[in-house]
Amino acid sequence: MLPSHLNGHSPLARRRPRLSAASPPTTGDSDAAAAAAAATADAPLAEHDRIYFQSYSHIGIHEAMIKDRVRTDAYRSAIMHHQKFIEGKVYAVEASEMATQAREIVKANNLDDKVVVVHGRVEDVEVEDKVDVIISEWMGYMLLYESMLPSVLFARDKWLKPGGLILPSHATLFMAPITNSERYEGSVDFWSDVYGINMSALVPLAKKFTSEEPSIEIIGGENVLSWPFVVKHIDCYTFKAEELKSITTKYKVSSMMLAPIHGFGLWFEVEFNGPSNPTDNSPSDLNPLDVIHKKRRRGSEDPVVLSTAPEDEPTHWHQTILYFPDPIEVKQDQIIEGSVKVSQSEENPRFLNIQLDCS
């Protein structure tokens, strides 16, 4: 069993934002903002949440996200696709101190009569009416890191009108074995001969460091050894926050080539759509090849999809890689099977623990 931990103390820890909720307020903008601010003034905040939201006051985080054209264009396309549901006034809920700048941006663009910026956690603020639409960018590394989805589900249960829209509406976490000799040689084998000096005593330490925490990096389709399998499919209209505490999935895939397995890669895609039809197949019911072909066949009337897959244009999420201490040689068509467990850290639910079995 290979344990890994995705947490905010490692250099790969990227922190991400809050919730935006769209709805028509029933009172004036300043009154709505003042009421919501008063409601959150004395709300208690756990230390890990305080640090988390404080990190979003750094402009560099917002710069990285907004400059991600794949991400930003997907949200723009989704908003335009569902424009008739979104037109009107909007509550923009922001837990970090960036709410101050958000209000200035709203004013500078003459949107005071349309956008009300509310400073506070979505769990703590109050709005005076049910909402028609919830728009959120809650996805972290390997989809679930940072655990922002429960905030969306909280807003859904408290404020979303029956038949309301959630964007993104569905999310799928994929996983597949990967090969990456160049990366492994550069991080592990490198120490065997460093400019002519034998430093192989550091190889065990390099293996430990490489495998004990996930690596956030970009791989290509050529690095993927099998069709991906679905770790978890999430329907944001029906999903329960309790389901995130622990997710366990068994897998069985076939290697497409003779190559060493250096670990497993995880990535996700989200879809911007209405509620699922109960008769539709979810991605967990489909062959991954069918999921990929369906994505490739999408037309202008199909829901917008934001993908972080290795074969698609890179995003700031990259892919999440779980490296083995030592590679495993496999033959073409060899079966690779095991299980993966993703659970929230007991110390801080925004962090993840990952356990991987492979044979």
Sheet with strand 352-358: strands edge to edge: 2-6, 352-358, 335-344, 246-254
Residue 205 backbone phi and psi in degrees, to 5: -70, -40
CATH node for 47-87+130-358: 2.70.160.11
**Residue 335 confidence (pLDDT) above 80:** yes
pLDDT of 184-205, one tens digit each? 999 999 999 999 999 999 999 9
Annotation marks residue 94 as catalytic: no
Rounded distance between C-alpha atoms, residue 147 and residue 245, angstroms: 10
pLDDT of 7-31, one tens digit each? 433 333 444 433 233 333 333 444 5
Report residue 229 as tokens.
């399998």
What are the b/e assignments for 208-239, b being 16+ CB within 10 Å?
Answer: eebbebbbbeebeeebbbbbbbbbbbbebbeb
**Residue 341 confidence (pLDDT) above 60:** yes
Give the model's pLDDT for residue 75: 96
Annotation marks residue 146 as catalytic: yes
pLDDT of 250-276, one tens digit each? 999 999 999 999 999 999 999 999 875
Give the model's pLDDT for residue 129: 84
**One of 94, 137, 213, 271 is an active-site residue; which one?**
137
Rounded distance between C-alpha atoms, residue 109 and residue 238, angstroms: 36
Give the model's pLDDT for residue 298: 56
**DSSP character at residue 168:** S
Mean pLDDT of the chain: 84
Report residue 283 as tokens.
């991605």
Give the model's pLDDT for residue 8: 38
Q: pLDDT band at residue 319, thresholds of 50, 70 and 90?
A: very high
Please indicate, yes or no, whether the overall pTM of this predicted structure exceeds 0.95.
Answer: no
**One of 97, 104, 128, 146 is an active-site residue; which one?**
146
